Chains A and B, each alone.
Chain A
Amino acid sequence: MLKFILRRVLETIPVLLCVAAMTFFMCRLAPGGPFDEDKQVTAEVRELLNKQFNLDQPLHKQFIQYITHLPTLQSFKYPNRTVGEIISQKFPVSAKLGFFAMCIALGLGILFGVIASLRPNTYIDYIPSSLAMIGICLPTFVMGPLLMLVFSLKLGWFPATGWGGFSGDQFFASDMVLPSVTLGFFYAAYISRLTRGGMLDILTQDYIRTAKAKGASGLRVIVKHSLRGGLLPVISFMGPAVAGLIAGSFVIETIFAIPGLGQDFVKSAFNRDYTLVLGVVMFYATLIILLNLIVDILQVTLNPKLKFD
């Protein structure tokens, strides 16, 4: 297993290099530059700026400097802060939102998926399945404002926006509820469909009949004999899902005014903030690769037919 992990980690190096090169050169190919939004400057000032940010050097030298010093490079938009600072400050906010959303997604998704699979094609199946379909079809930018309208403007249960809980020391605050639910519901819908499909597949297997013939109770049949195989599709989905969740969602963060990494990702691209774009992209890429590795390890531990090779 150690060998497997080591090889996979080594494999990520060329992948990350490719990602870095493509991001860097595509940014430079895009029209415009980091200072275009500011007011017009004289040629001398521009030259000084270029010098300060090393833009006057040849591209390949810049590239090497970028990939070797990425976390300590300063942002173009916020020159007094480095890329590393921005990510380490914003990521925990997104991660916290993602964590709560993930709990909701897994909890609701697996619960409803299992319930639906136990009585297929009855109303016990149709109700959670149609809810899931709505969850998949309804985009978060519709769902978010809807929840806001009902639960904060009409009922006044939760604050509509804010981030006191997200950046403060509290582990949980009421302003986390609506964004977590909005983000979590979408993934819950997906997970419940995957769970239902996986469980339906397992519950009709011969070995489930064997388990029943041994005298196993209904709960034991589900927990001990079915869930392991039934959740394999969910596990495969978890890699990209977790990465997407904890790395931040631009839409959710914009709707609920949350200062997360997702906002910086999109804004940095608009600002042509060359350093920050590369920093966030590399951070995302590493995260996704890491999570996929964890998922692969989980798959092998859950499915004895798979081996590390």
Chain B
Amino acid sequence: MPLLDVNDLTTYFHTRNGVVRAVDGVSFQLEKGETLGIVGESGSGKSVTCMSMLGLIPQPPGRIEKGTAHFDGTDLLHCSQKELQTIRGRRIAMIFQDPMTSLNPYLRIEDQLIEPLLIHELADKQSARQQALAMLDAVGIQDAASRIRGYPHEFSGGMRQRVMIAMALITKPDVLIADEPTTALDVTVQAQILELIKKEQQELGTAVILITHDLGVVSGFCDRINVMYGGKIVESGPTKEIFYNPQHPYNRALQNSIPALQAKGKELYTIPGMPPDMSKPSAGCSFAPRCEHATDLCTSKPPELQDIGKAHTTACLRVQGENLKP
């Protein structure tokens, strides 16, 4: 049985300009200790998927329309706030995109670090302090004993993200959701943060969901990858399959647009068109208007994820009909 089993998760935002279908029937599983990557462009529903599971979507305007997310016998989408609170931070922890704004500027690092332990009554104040110190040391903050008394504004971006990681992992959670943890950091720091997550994951046996729009980040990091587009998973499979045997035209286009893989001097490849307007549902495949292989069928019939072997699933009618060869 998977640790986390998400089924048909659907989250809509009911705004003044209509219903935005941010996440539209997403299903995936996460095994114990596994690393799952969720890749897609801005607005494809990656973050909303994970925040829906933890009940962090602002409601209203957001609403979880349907679906289930079973975690160790509890349906996260239908349990009470109280139950969710005992899971959040203790068994499923989350770190966010922008470390500059994710720490409370009015509280000492120490108070924020030990808070998960105190909330979930895992330690008294004294031993929580000890653990916080050890954790800060483990995430590579020098002179932790004095830094722990400081405030967030005395830390750099990379340091703050380290603090966030320490805070998330201090309860030794089963799952760590990292929502674009390196996007706001500069390149040298990015690698260090990913290394750190990897190291802590191996020590604690935590499963990680890594949300990113950077294919380079997931390729070396994840066991499996879900590619999302327009609120749906369009392709899913082991990392190797996704990179060496890409099927869905969107996945292929994404990989063609990695700048590092293109010849010097050549014009950079871009996917034509604009991301879909999520408030206007399309009758067929949401990628069809930008797809060079689209046929009339693609714009009228919605594709479903289908197994194409080697645990690789894809949601493209033309691939499934075997009339599209890479």
Contact = CB atoms under 8 A, between A and B. Distances in A.
Interface of A: 205-207, 209-218, 220, 224-225, 228-229, 302-305
Contacts of B151: 304-305
Interface string B13-43: 0000000000000000000000000000000
Given A214-B115, A214-B119, A216-B119, A206 B96 contact: yes
Given A216-B115, A225-B107, A210 B96 contact: yes
A207 B101 contact: yes
Given A210-B96, A228-B106, A215 B86 contact: yes
B6 interface: no
A172 B167 CA distance: 50
B93 A213 contact: yes
Interface string B143-158: 0000000010100000
A209 B90 CA distance: 15
Given A206-B96, A304-B151, A305-B153, A211 B104 contact: yes
Nearest to A232: B106
A215 B90 contact: yes
A61 B151 CA distance: 56
Interface residues of B, number: 30
A212 B104 CA distance: 12
Contacts of B108: 304
A279 to B, nearest CB: 42
B94 A213 contact: yes
B156 to A, nearest CB: 15
B120 interface: yes
B103 A207 contact: yes
Contacts of A205: 101
Interface string B94-106: 1010100111111
Contacts of A302: 106
Nearest to B167: A214
By CB atoms of chain A within 10 A, which of B89, B106, B119 has the most? Answer: B106
Contacts of A218: 81
Given A215-B119, A305-B151, 19 more contacts: A206-B101, A206-B102, A207-B102, A207-B105, A210-B96, A210-B102, A210-B164, A211-B104, A212-B56, A213-B54, A213-B88, A213-B89, A213-B93, A213-B94, A215-B87, A215-B89, A216-B89, A224-B107, A304-B106
A218 B119 CA distance: 12
Interface string B65-103: 000000000000000010001111110011010100111
Given A206-B102, A302-B106, A303-B106, A214 B88 contact: yes
Contacts of B104: 207, 210-211, 225
Given A206-B102, A210-B104, A229-B106, A215 B96 contact: no
A215 B106 contact: no
B116 interface: yes
Nearest to A210: B102
A209 B56 contact: yes
By CB atoms of chain A within 10 A, which of B98, B115, B151 has the most? Answer: B115
Contact of B85 (A210, A215, A303): A215
Contacts of B86: 215
14 contacts: A210-B96, A210-B164, A211-B115, A214-B88, A214-B89, A214-B93, A214-B167, A215-B88, A215-B89, A215-B120, A228-B107, A304-B106, A304-B108, A305-B151
